[in-house]
Amino acid sequence: MIVIFLGPPGAGKGTQAKRLAAELGIPHVSTGDALRSAVERGTPLGREAAQYLDKGLLVPDATMLSLVAEFLDRAESARGLILDGFPRTTPQAEGLDALLASQGRAVHCVLLLDIDEEEAVRRLTARVWCPRCGAIHNLVTDRPKVEGCCDDCGGRLEPRTDDVRHVIEARFEEYERLTQPVVEYYSSRGRLKTVDARQPIDQITRELTAAVQACGGFDSPGGAR
């Protein structure tokens, strides 16, 4: 059972994908985090990806599909998987469909977290992160329990250098150029469910859970068929 999260920067995909994964009892895979990990570990796939990342280029679709295929082959993914950050292009979406079809599987539901650019800028410029463990907090939507300290490890939180307006606007433009066609791809196939990402976090989680259940395939929020 494959669930995909789509949405522009600042929509809260990572936060909601983790929540839904816990709710449904299936793994959450952030392809961005997985790619960075592969590069840091120096795996064959990571070395291949680094050639593009070091030059500021997009990692080729085939490489990203290979990364996702590794997760699909894992035993813990047999019951389902939540993909966050993939697919980002129409060829990736088509490649994923072909890969899943070869395994007798299919995309179950595509969840679009919708947010406008100005709200995305407001949220992302309020993000802070922990250099010690990599956790991210938001001073607007997800404040740390102790001011300035990471909830996960207690490390000192710092602003992210890439969370400035002109960078965010460029990322938003890239999303609309590359990923908006992916939204249309899944919408035309009847798989897309849209949720307003401006709502309170708990309400968004409830609507996402209901959307997945409405697609069929889950007996209850606690388990996948």
Cite the active site residues.
Answer: 13, 88, 127, 160, 171
User: How many other C-beta atoms can be found within 10 angstroms of the C-beta atom of residue 87?
Assistant: 27
Residues 6 or more apart whose CB falls under 8 angstroms from that of 88 comprise 64, 178, 179, 182
* Residue 207 DSSP SS3: helix
Q: Which of 55, 79, 82 is nearest to 68 (CA)?
A: 82
User: How many other C-beta atoms can be found within 10 angstroms of the C-beta atom of residue 159?
Assistant: 13
Q: Are 192 and 112 within 8 A, CB to CB?
A: yes
